[in-house]
Amino acid sequence: MSAFLVTFRRDLALMWGGGGVLAPLGFFLGATMLVPLAMGPERALLQSAGPPLVWIAAALAVLATLERLFQADLEDGSLEQMLLSRAPLEVLVLAKGLALWCVVGLPLALAGAPAAIALQAPVERIGVIVVSLWLGMAAFIGVGLVGAAVTAGVKRGGVLIALIVLPFFAPPIIFGSAVAAGEQVGPALAILTGCALAALALGPIAAAAALRLQAE
């Protein structure tokens, strides 16, 4: 358990200290800003299309953080240390994923509130949008771990990660946008939670299998 906590705190500190929070937040706000510029500022149009577009911006912002997630560990040898540790690699990968979820996922979900308001989402729906975004981040990160792990050895693998991971973003995007649009909020939120739990449970297993190959 302690190896889990150490990895979690190490990644937390690395991402927080390395300015890893600001870049995805800035990306998210920039992408959100472009939405009304592309669609026009009409209130009615934004009201229907804006909140789901917050989801697109958030998905892309998380995607941008994945490239270096395991690549840095592979380059500086921390991955080998993790493999030597008595704790299973799956647990350490989960710790890294959860750290990313806290350092990047939580601020992005909170930033979803002003973004959704700016895109004319009804104010009474903001709370549930933030909660659903945070759950969706867990689903994105769980799948993203696999994408980051299989491409860890590829130089400039950012676009490759996007191509690999984006199709698997379909379920959380679908149910998350349903929440944001106010359609069948209860069931959609329940399935979104299921997506998040399944991704966090299964993602680290596949990611760890890929990382063992990367270190060979």
Partner 1 sequence: MLSYLANPQRFMGFSAWAAPLLAVLALGLFAVGLPWALLYSPADYQQGETVRIMYVHVPAAWWALGVYAFMGGASFVGLVWRHVLADIAARAAAPVGAVFAAVCLVTGSLWGAPTWGTWWEWDGRLTSMLVLFVIYLGYLALWSAVEDEEKAARLAAILCLVGLINLPIIKFSVDWWSTLHQPASIMRSGGSSIDPSMMGPLFTMAGAYLALFGALTLSNMRAAIFRRRVEAAELRGAGA
Minimum distance from residue 27 beta carbon to partner 1 (Å): 22
Closest contact distance (angstroms) between CB of 150 and partner 1 is: 4
In the chain, DSSP finds a helix count (H) and a strand count (E) of 10, 0
Window 137-176: contact mask with partner 1 (x via CB under 8 A):
------x--x---xx-xx--x--x--xxxxxx-xx--xx-
Q: Any contact of residue 178 with partner 1 (CB under 8 A)?
A: yes
Confirm if 172 and 58 have CB atoms less than 8 A apart.
Answer: no
Q: In this structure, what token pair is assigned to residue 83?
A: 């493999």
- Contact of 187 with 127, CB cutoff 8 Å: no
Q: Using CA atoms in the order 75, 4, 164, 116, what is the torsion angle rounded to 10 degrees?
A: -120
133 burial level (CB within 10 Å; 0-12, 13-18, 19+): buried
Closest CB to partner 1 among 111 and 139?
Answer: 139
Residues 2 to 61: which contact partner 1 by CB under 8 A? none
- Contact (Cβ atoms closer than 8 angstroms) between residue 93 and residue 211: yes
Least spacing, CB of residue 141 vs partner 1, in Å: 15
Q: How far is the CB of 160 from partner 1 (least distance, A)?
A: 5
Residues that bind partner 1 (CB under 8 A): 143, 146, 150-151, 153-154, 157, 160, 163-168, 170-171, 174-175, 178, 183-184, 191, 195, 198, 202, 206, 209-210, 213-214, 216
